[in-house]
Amino acid sequence: MGKLKKGKLIVFSAPSGAGKTTLVKYLMGKIPALSFSVSAASRNARKGEVNGKDYHFLTVDEFRKNINQDAFVEWEEVYKDHFYGTLSSEVERIRNQGQHVVFDVDVKGGVNIKKIFGEDVLAVFIEPPSIDALKLRLENRATDSKKDIQTRIEKAKEELDFAPFFDVIIVNDDLDIAKKEVFEKVSEFIDG
């Protein structure tokens, strides 16, 4: 029995509310060879989120301990004491099974994964049609306070500057078109 070929990595990054998670879920349902890398987060679970499935929910202290132990491929303090990161063990477990790893990470994390793994990575940036459309999506989502939405909008303006560092930019103006583009780009990458 031959050794399994290590899986490739597909990174999705976007400003909060751009539709990244919707597109990732769609893709996961369409391509069986993809396996989602569950990120670690130092925040409380939102309604309906499950520890170990949606995120590995850690306390701030637990997160910092893992940082000190170099347990992350990438991590970021997105907001004060709000950490997100990708555990190295999670990535290697999936790749060693011959599955392709899908990441849903912030823009800095996406750029860092691309730097570490190079040609094994397809980095996809999901862009909202505009900042105004993004603000409306966040308000309609009704998961954040007005203050948090304003913080996310300010952060989104900075995050959009990272788009040129990604291999593919998909503007999520029409969800059906964005789904088709994501499917084509990822299929081409993993088959190549």
At 21-69, the pLDDT tens digits run 899 999 999 999 999 998 899 998 888 999 988 889 999 999 999 999 9
pLDDT digits (tens, 9 = 90+) for 120-144: 999 999 998 888 888 887 888 777 7
3-class SS of residue 121 = strand
Q: Record the tokens describing residue 86, joined without a space.
A: 């990708």
Strands 40-41 vs 168-171: parallel, antiparallel or unpaired: unpaired
Q: Is the dihedral of CA 73, 29, 46, 154 positive or negative?
A: positive
DSSP state of 2: P
Measured between alpha carbons, how far is 149 from 59 in angstroms, rounded to an integer?
Answer: 23
CB 40 within 8 A of CB 132: no
Q: Which residue in 29, 63, 72 sits closest to 44, CA to CA?
A: 63
Domain 9-187 has CATH 3.40.50.300: yes
Distances from the Cα of 42 to the Cα of 55, 126, 151, 160, angstroms: 9, 24, 18, 24
pLDDT digits (tens, 9 = 90+) for 137-189: 788 877 778 888 888 888 888 999 999 999 999 999 999 999 999 999 999 99
Q: Record the tokens describing residue 56, joined without a space.
A: 């590995």
Distances from the Cα of 23 to the Cα of 11, 44, 136, 183, angstroms: 12, 23, 18, 9
Count of other CB atoms within 10 angstroms of residue 8: 21
Q: Residue by residue, what is the 3-state secondary structure of 21-36?
A: HHHHHHHHHHCCCEEE
pLDDT of residue 146: 85
The string over 107-132, giving b where at least 16 C-beta atoms fall within 10 Å of a residue's C-beta and e elsewhere, is bbbbbbbbeebeebbbbbbbbbeeee
Measured between alpha carbons, how far is 54 from 56 in angstroms, rounded to an integer?
Answer: 7
Q: Record the tokens describing residue 170, joined without a space.
A: 């998909």
Of all residues in the chain, what percent carry a pLDDT higher than 70?
A: 98
pLDDT of residue 1: 46
